Every structure is written in C-alpha cells, then in structure tokens.
Amino acid sequence: MGMFCPKCGSLLKPKALKSGTALGCSCGYTEKNQDLEVRESNKKKNEVDLAVVEKEREEKRLPLTETDCPKCGHRKAYYWLQQTRAGDEPETRFCKCEKCSHTWREYD
C-alpha cells in the first residue's frame, strides 16, 4: 500500500466504498485495500477527525512517550507527528493513551 498516488504523486486520502475501503486521489486514481479501516469521530477540540488504521494493531510500530492522558491520567501514550497546517509551521503531535486508547493533539 502506497501513501502517494503513482499517477500524479499526490497524497492518497481515505474513501469509503460500497465494496469496502480504498485510498483515492483527486486525479481519479483509486487503490482498493482490504487491510484498511476508515474511522470517523465527532469533530471536537483535540480529537482526530478522520483516521485510516490498519486492522493490525498500529501501536506495535509507534513509539511510547511519557505524557498525561487528559481522559484517564495514565502517564504513557503512543505518539506520531503529522503535518496538519502550512509547511512553514511545525508538525502536530498526536498521542494515543496506552491504557484507554483516548487520542488527542498536542500543538507546539
């Protein structure tokens, strides 16, 4: 599974299809993948709006850090960085609690 379109090089975004899930590009390219799950959550401050997660546990590949979960207070969370704003601004750090799986954003 590639994260970039082989036709035009753009970032592939999640798409929900009647036959399953896929990654799609604005140029029309679609890559079907049965190992993806598309999850949506309510749009609230400090929560992820849309996430593509491999059905296999993603935590196996993510590093752990010491931070306080705002929901349960646990002191360890998995984290990843993602560029969510303009390229000249810092990346957004996403955290997912090791204990309760609550996900939140940390801005620099």
Residue-wise pLDDT tens digits, 46-66: 555 555 555 445 556 789 999
Query: What span, in angstroms and rounded, lies between the C-alpha atoms of 85 and 18?
Result: 31
| pTM exceeding the 0.75 threshold for the entire prediction | no
Number of domains present in the structure of the chain: 2
Which CATH number do you get for residue 104? Answer: 2.20.25.10
Structure tokens, 30: 């679609």
**Catalytic residue of the set 56, 66, 88, 108:** 88
What secondary structure letter does DSSP report for 64?
E
Burial class of residue 3 in the structure, from the number of CB atoms within 10 Å of its CB (0-12 exposed, 13-18 middle, 19+ buried): exposed
**Catalytic residue of the set 66, 89, 91, 98:** 89
Range of the domain at 37: 1-55
Is 35 or 100 the better-scoring residue by pLDDT? Answer: 100
For 63-86, the pLDDT digits (tens) are 999 999 999 999 999 999 988 888
Do 44 and 78 sit in the same domain of this protein?
Answer: no
Do 4 and 25 sit in the same domain of this protein?
Answer: yes
pLDDT > 70: what percent of the chain? 69
Do 72 and 101 sit in the same domain of this protein?
Answer: yes
Q: Which residue has the tokens 């296999």?
A: 56
Please confirm, yes or no, whether 88 is among the known catalytic residues.
yes
Return phi, psi of residue 61, to 5°: -105, -10
Is 2 or 105 the better-scoring residue by pLDDT? Answer: 105
